[in-house]
């Protein structure tokens, strides 16, 4: 067994035979020509042919991976018609009296270099697109139709790199996985692989030879590894994982795009919890209606110093744009207790879970708080963002927060910065104190989201970090369930909506109960969304309530 490791761009397991794909390099010769006008005409005909091919590819990709995945072929058509590109080719033909193939190859090389020299990774990634269209035009000049890769049986495609046009031309049913030696995570190949939901690994130093060609292999997109000729033990373990994944996929197929509605017509929002932008793929894949908890403190924990407003803004903006108008609830930093960052220089405490944490830090260090609020507000101009504050115990705290929010809004107005003036503000209900004053709190905010992890810890007086207390920890304790009912009712009495973003929200044995309590939203880890959707679709709330009486 040989193991090669790279960077995973899409998770999943693939088991099958490897097919090494090698590009047919098109060698271009410099040939002197007499009739320049005829050569330019030949170039123009090749361009039209290439555009025709791309139109076909676009239609094929729309059917297979949807419009956003197909956009690249629209972009390639525009690139072929790019004035700078055309001018450069025509001028080389004209001034050097050379063949169109050579003029196109030279132009392509120059433009590719120009993109590769750029600082931003996004533009460097575009070099591959230039290469792709250049090869397409050269191929059209040679009279080829650019048929792409065809294979008789499903295979794991191993290649040096794959152009987007090559990936889409492949018959999707015949591809189990992509493994490439090169390629960037931002390349369209990766994006297409993700959209096609095929496990894919890039940057993998695998030999492109008979050493692997035709051999049995397992691609593990979770680990970013390919096992060539796996031993029995590996094969058994990976097959098990594969079957579990297949089960999830079939659930996904049946439930994707369905509304979260009970048999008697009650709707609920199913959102996802995330800790960083890497989770966004999973959020979309699992068809989340939005993000119900973005634990923003992970930005602080992954940093050696306070993250700047610009750094935070870039992250929040990316999340808002990726979610394309779906709600994104950003929780302001919840640092302290089990989540420590040295540069905060927090005092050593006897009882950190009950110490200086979360909103208490924000209210005692308003400059840190304001930096984050500014970044979030600015990002609110790029999508639908709500802000949520953790560890609230009193109305007084919420009023102080609202005063600071108002100050930040005023500063942004003065600076002429765009933001969502009606941005939703909510609080986490995760202390018994907040439950007891829920009516008063609901008057102040747009929504509640219950942090059952902390609410259970503070209600049962059981340290959530202390494993030795597991036998005492009862997540279904009647005190917690009563509180959950009180919280939803208090919110609704005052026109606020209520959700649950703690782990209990994903407890399938309680889905019916949460629906009966009238919760408007459950925010859970992405992988739990579809199983909960299934439970919602199978529930009749009225009947459930009757059965309890």
Active site residues: 188, 501
SS3 at position 427: strand
Nearest to 164 by CA among 41, 278, 70: 70
Should residue 454 be labelled a site residue for Mg ion when binding is judged by CB under 5 A?
Answer: yes
Cα–Cα distance, 146 to 471 (Å, whole number): 65
Residues binding Mg ion: number (CB under 5 A) = 3
The residue range among 180-188, 228-236, 307-315, 451-459 that interacts with ligand PEP, by the rule CB under 6 A, is 451-459
Alpha-carbon distances of 390 from 42, 182, 260, rounded to whole Å: 66, 43, 27
- Using the contact rule CB under 6 A, the part of the chain among 301-309, 431-439, 450-458, 473-481 near ligand PEP is 450-458
Report CA dihedral (281, 282, 288, 293) to the nearest 10 degrees. -90
Q: Does 451 bind Mg ion (CB under 5 A)?
A: yes
Identify what 307 binds: ligand PEP, Mg ion, none; CB under 5 to 8 Å per kind: none
What is the number of other CB atoms lying within 10 angstroms of the CB of residue 431? 21
Closest CB 293 distance from ligand PEP, rounded Å: 6
**Near ligand PEP by CB under 6 A: residue from 6, 336, 383, 451:** 451
Q: Which of 73, 502, 525, 536 binds ligand PEP (CB under 6 A)?
A: 502
Q: In the range 28-67, which residues lie near ligand PEP by CB under 6 A? A: none
Residue 162 or 388: which CB sits closer to ligand PEP? 388
Footprint on residues 406-435 left by Mg ion (CB under 5 A): 430
Count of C-beta atoms within a 10 Å radius of residue 473: 15
Separation of alpha carbons 495 and 447, rounded Å = 9
Options 50-58, 176-184, 213-221, 446-454: segment touching Mg ion (CB under 5 A): 446-454
Q: Could you tell me which of 68, 57, 64 has the C-alpha nearest to residue 175?
A: 64
CA distance linking residue 534 with residue 530, whole number of Å: 6
The nearer residue to ligand PEP, 104 or 501, going by C-beta atoms, is 501
* Beta-bridge partners for 471: none
Compare residues 307 and 451 and give the one whose CB is closer to Mg ion. Answer: 451
Q: Is 295 in the site for ligand PEP (CB under 6 A)?
A: yes
Does the protein bind Mg ion through residue 297 (CB under 5 A)?
no
For the segment 452-471, give every residue that binds ligand PEP (CB under 6 A).
452-454
441 is written with which tokens?
A: 């709190």
According to the binding rule CB under 6 A, does residue 279 interact with ligand PEP? Answer: no
Q: 295 is in the binding site of which of Mg ion, ligand PEP, none (Cβ under 5 to 8 A by kind)?
A: ligand PEP
Those residues with Cβ within 8 angstroms of residue 511's Cβ, 6 or more apart along the chain or in another chain: 522, 532, 535, 536, 539
Closest to ligand PEP by CB, 380 vs 431, is: 431
Give the nearer residue to Mg ion in terms of CB position, either 450 or 536: 450
Q: Does 475 bind ligand PEP (CB under 6 A)?
A: no
Torsion sign (Cα): 35, 40, 42, 43: positive
What order of strands is seen across the sheet that includes strand 200-202? 2-5, 225-228, 216-220, 13-21, 155-159, 175-180, 200-202, 7-10
User: Judged by CB, which is closer to ligand PEP: 276, or 453?
Assistant: 453
Output the six-digit token pair for 335: 């640092």
- The stretch near ligand PEP (CB under 6 A) out of 36-44, 207-215, 298-306, 445-453 is 445-453
Structural contact between residues 292 and 301, judged by C-beta atoms closer than 8 angstroms? no
Alpha carbon of 231 to those of 5, 30, 227, 235, 238: distances in Å? 17, 51, 9, 6, 11
Residue pointed to by tokens 């700047």: 308
Write the DSSP symbol of residue 354.
G
What, of ligand PEP, Mg ion, none, does residue 501 touch, CB below 5 to 8 Å by kind? Answer: ligand PEP
Q: Which of residues 320-339 bind ligand PEP (CB under 6 A)?
A: 334
Residue 221 touching ligand PEP (CB under 6 A)? no
Place of tokens 């490439």: 180
Structure tokens at 289: 């209606």
The residue range among 136-144, 207-215, 281-289, 448-456 that interacts with ligand PEP, by the rule CB under 6 A, is: 448-456
Q: Which is nearer to ligand PEP, 95 or 465 (CB)?
A: 465
Q: Decide: 404 and 369 in contact? Cβ < 8 Å.
A: yes
Residue 287's binding partner out of ligand PEP, Mg ion, none, with CB under 5 to 8 Å set by partner kind:
none
Choice between 140 and 293, CB closer to ligand PEP: 293
CA angle 458, 460, 465 (to 5 degrees): 65
CA 430 and chain centroid, separation = 28
Count of residues binding ligand PEP (CB under 6 A)? 10
| Residue 39 binding target from ligand PEP, Mg ion, none, CB below 5 to 8 Å by type | none
User: Of the listed pieces 235-243, 312-320, 447-455, 485-493, which binds ligand PEP according to CB under 6 A?
Assistant: 447-455
CB of 347 to ligand PEP, least distance (A): 20
Q: How far is the CB of 470 from ligand PEP (least distance, A)?
A: 17
Give contact residues for ligand PEP (rule: CB under 6 A).
293, 295, 334, 430, 451-454, 501-502
- Contacts with Mg ion, residue ranges (CB under 5 A): 430, 451, 454
């Amino acid at each position: 067994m040989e193991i090669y490791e790279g960077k995973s761009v899409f998770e999943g397991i693939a088991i099958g035979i490897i097919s090494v794909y090698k590009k047919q390099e098109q060698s271009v010769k410099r040939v002197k020509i007499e009739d320049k006008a005829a050569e330019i005409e030949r170039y123009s005909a090749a361009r039209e042919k290439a555009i025709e091919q791309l139109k076909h590819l676009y239609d094929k990709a729309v059917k297979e991976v949807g419009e956003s995945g197909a956009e690249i072929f629209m972009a390639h058509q525009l690139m072929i018609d790019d004035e700078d590109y055309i001018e450069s080719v025509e001028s080389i033909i004209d001034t050097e009296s050379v063949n169109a193939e050579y003029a196109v190859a030279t132009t392509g090389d120059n433009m590719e270099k120009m993109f590769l020299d750029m600082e931003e990774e996004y533009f460097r990634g575009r070099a591959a697109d230039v290469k792709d269209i250049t090869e397409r035009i050269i191929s059209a000049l040679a009279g080829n139709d650019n048929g792409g890769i065809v294979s008789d049986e499903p295979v794991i495609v191993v290649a040096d790199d794959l152009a987007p046009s090559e990936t889409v031309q492949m018959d999707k049913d015949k591809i189990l996985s992509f493994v490439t030696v090169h390629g960037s995570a931002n390349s369209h190949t990766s994006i297409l692989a993700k959209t096609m939901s095929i496990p894919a690994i890039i940057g993998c130093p695998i030999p492109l030879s008979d050493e692997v060609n035709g051999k049995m292999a397992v691609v593990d997109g979770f680990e970013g590894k390919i096992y060539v000729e796996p031993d029995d033990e590996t094969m058994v373990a990976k097959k098990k994982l594969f079957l579990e994944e297949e089960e999830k996929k079939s659930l996904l197929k049946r439930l994707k795009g369905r509304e979260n509605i009970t048999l008697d017509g009650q709707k609920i929002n199913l959102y996802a919890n995330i800790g960083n932008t890497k989770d966004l793929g999973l959020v979309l894949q699992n068809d989340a209606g939005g993000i119900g908890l973005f634990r923003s403190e992970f930005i602080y924990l992954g940093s050696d110093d306070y993250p700047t407003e610009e750094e935070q803004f870039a992250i929040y903006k990316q999340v808002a744009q990726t979610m394309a108008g779906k709600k994104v609830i950003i929780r302001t930093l919840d640092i302290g207790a089990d989540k420590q960052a040295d540069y905060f220089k927090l005092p050593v405490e006897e009882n950190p879970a009950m110490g200086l944490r979360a909103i208490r830090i924000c209210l005692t260090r308003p400059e840190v708080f304001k930096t984050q609020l500014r970044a979030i507000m600015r990002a609110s101009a790029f999508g639908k963002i709500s802000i949520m504050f953790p560890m609230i115990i009193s109305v007084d705290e919420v009023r102080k927060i609202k005063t600071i929010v108002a100050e930040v809004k005023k500063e942004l107005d003065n600076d002429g910065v765009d933001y969502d003036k009606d941005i939703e503000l909510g609080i986490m209900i995760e202390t018994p104190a907040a439950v007891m004053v829920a009516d008063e709190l609901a008057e102040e905010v747009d929504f509640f989201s219950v942090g059952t992890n902390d609410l259970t810890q503070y209600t049962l007086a059981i340290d959530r970090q202390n494993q030795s207390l597991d036998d005492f920890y009862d997540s279904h304790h009647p005190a917690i369930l009563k509180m959950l009912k009180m919280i939803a009712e208090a919110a609704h009495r005052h026109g606020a909506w209520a959700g649950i973003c703690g782990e209990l929200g994903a407890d399938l044995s309680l889905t019916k109960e949460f629906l009966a309590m009238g919760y408007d939203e459950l925010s859970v880890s992405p992988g739990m969304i579809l199983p909960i959707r299934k439970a919602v679709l199978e529930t009749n709330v009225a009947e459930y309530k009757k059965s309890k009486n």
